[in-house]
Structure 1
Amino acid sequence: MFKKILPAGKDFIEEIVDPADTLIDATCGNGHDSAYLSALVPNGHVYSFDIQSQAIESAKNNYPKTNISFIHDGHENIGSHVKAPVKAGIFNLGYLPGGDKSITTAYQTTIAAINELFKLLTAGGRIIIVVYHGHDSGKIERDALLDYLTSWDQNQAQVLMYQYINQKNNAPFLLVIEKLR
Structure 2
Amino acid sequence: MTLKLVLQYAQLLLQDTIEAGDIVVDATAGNGYDTAFLAQLVGEDGHVYAFDIQQQAIDATGKRLMEAGVSKQVSLILDGHENIDQYVKEPVSAAIFNLGYLPGGEHTIITKSNTTLRAIDRLLSLLKIGGIIILVIYYGHEGGKEERDRIIDYVSSLPQKKVRVLRYEFINQKNDPPFVIALEKLKEL
TM-score between the two structures when normalised by the length of structure 2: 0.94
Residue aligned with 1:27, SS: coil
Give the residue type in structure 1 aligned to 2:50: S
Cα RMSD over matched residues? 0.8
Equivalent-residue separation in structure 2 for 1:170 and 1:58 (angstroms): 26
> Equivalences for 1:133-152 in 2 at 5 Å?
133-152=139-158
Q: How many residues align?
A: 181
Query: Partner of 2:48 in structure 1?
Result: 46
Matches within 5 A, 1:53-132: 53-64=55-66, 65-132=71-138
Where in structure 1 are there 5+ consecutive unaligned residues?
A: none
Task: Letter of the 1:94 partner, please give it.
Answer: G
Task: State the distance in 1 between where 2:118 and 2:100 align.
Answer: 16
Letter in 2 for 1:56: I
Q: CA deviation at 1:136?
A: 2.3
Pairing partner for 1:159 from 154, 159, 165: 165
Identity of paired residues, percent? 48
Structure 2 counterpart of 1:138, one-letter code: G
Stretches of structure 2 lacking an aligned partner (at least 5 in a row): none
**Which residue is equivalent to 1:8?**
9
Determine the C-alpha separation between the residues in 2 that align with 1:59 and 1:41: 17
* Alpha-carbon separation, structure 2, partners of 1:16 and 1:112: 23
Name the structure 2 match of 1:33: 34
Q: Describe the SS at the equivalent of 1:126.
A: strand
TM-score (norm 1): 0.98
Alpha-carbon deviation of 1:16? Answer: 1.5
Q: Give structure 1 regions of 4+ aligned residues with deviation exceeding 4 angstroms.
A: none
